[in-house]
Amino acid sequence: MSRAKKKVVVIGLDCATPKTVFEDFLGDCPNIKRLMEYGVYGNLRSSDPPITIPSWMVLSTGKSAGTLGVYGFRHRKENSYTDFWIANSSTIKEPKIWDILGEKGYQSIILGVPPTYPIQPIIGHLVSCFITPDTLSNYTYPPELKLEIDENIGPYILDVPFRIESKEELLINIHKMTNVHFETVKYLMKTKKWDYVQFVIIGLDRIHHSFWKYYDKNHIKYEPGNIFESALKNYYKKLDKEIGEILKLVDQDTIIFVVSDHGAKAMKGCLCVNMVLEKLGLLKFKERPKPKTKIEDAEIDWEHTYAWGWGGYYARIFLNVKGREEKGLINPEEFEQWRDKVKKLLLDVPDDRGNPMNTKIYKPEELYSTIRGDAPDLFVYFDNLYWRSAGTVGYDSMYLEENDTGPDDAVHDYDGIFIIYDPKRKIGKNLNQKNIIDITPTILNLFGIEIPKDMEGKIIKF
């Protein structure tokens, strides 16, 4: 039996940035503006690494990526050169906020929070996220909710292919998906018992990555007067209108959170991390691979390779250590010496014009007090994340003008956003920067629930 007087709704805007929300489009978003004028807000520092998985789980557990043992979508398996495992809901061993609330008898509605597939039972109702293979899969809890959504909303859309050239088609599909996600959330809020709602609108992330160069005048590929110049603004207007509809469904005892998992900024280019390592003499091929070859499919001379890497919005570097890797080259007692050497060499890598880059490189122990799972030996944020990392090999140059997995205009940034609005209070205060790990303890505190001692986040006071 639910005992909550106070309720909480968490509106997740994947990839929302301080610049777009608090500056560029604020005048077009009256509902968001009102939440800021009456509530508290600020930049929300993302997890390390600042990417969708693990960021939403860091937000939803109050635990770091190191504690969760999740550093991205895929992870190296048992020090293998080629085997890997994919993060999903069963990877997350720490309790999510809806698990903690459920133990106290509170009912939750959860939609689109990554990773929530495969489906796990909750006290309430759940619709899974974009990592779900397709709608033929069991993507709801309870299972019969799937049929209910089909009958009342229509065919559900989990995600859209967004690294494609057909921008007109993509824009239509993103709007269509966003409509379905909001209609489903509103339907659940109207028809189900709930104390806590948390949902993620992944469409914002997709539109940022696909249309950033059309909006950002500082993007190297920006073209004045392009036909998609208003695509981002129009999408933010849609988000604001839908947020207004959500606000009509709640009462004065409902606290509203608007949050994002990370920010975004213009991608300057793509750096082929393994071609960099080859040029530095740290990686050797037995045979030159064709361009766009996956690292696991390349003929690498492991007996003469010191390090290799994986790409993405950040680069993961692995050292080839005797006794750890099958054909390890580095003596274990020299591991730290080699790790420092590789770090120094990568810090000195210039951009495609020979200019220094503001690259940030971290060892896992510098980021986390607890390190679980299969962490890389080094986390590399090339040019402070402005340059995406390509993990594929076989190129003549270290630099690519395009992402190796399809068109992408934006990279991730450290700061997302948060807004907290209590209808019974008028505050209107910028709290500057808070941390994504602080959201769950803040919400638990609103419900009057004692913060678990092992929770790493702190309560945001407002």
Determine phi and psi for 296, rounding to 5 degrees.
-70, -15
> What kind of fold does domain 7-265+412-446 have according to CATH?
Alkaline Phosphatase, subunit A (3.40.720)
388-444 residue pLDDT tens: 999 999 999 999 978 887 788 899 999 999 999 999 999 999 999 999 999 999 999
Query: Where along the chain do its domains lie?
Result: 7-265+412-446, 269-407
What's residue 250's pLDDT? Answer: 98
What's residue 1's pLDDT? Answer: 36
Sign of CA dihedral 385, 325, 292, 345: positive
Q: Rounded distance, CA 142 to CA 208, Å? A: 33
What's residue 2's pLDDT? Answer: 44
Q: Rounded distance, CA 24 to CA 145, Å? A: 38
Residue-by-residue DSSP string for 15-45: T--HIIIIIITGGG-HHHHHHHHHSEEEEEE
What's residue 195's pLDDT? Answer: 98
What's residue 135's pLDDT? Answer: 96
Q: Would you tell me the crossing angle of helices 52-61 and 439-446 to the nearest 10 degrees?
A: 30
Q: Rounded distance, CA 437 to CA 107, Å? A: 22
Q: Rounded distance, CA 185 to CA 202, Å? A: 13
Spell out, as residue ranges, where the chain has pLDDT lower than 50. Answer: 1-2
pTM: 0.96
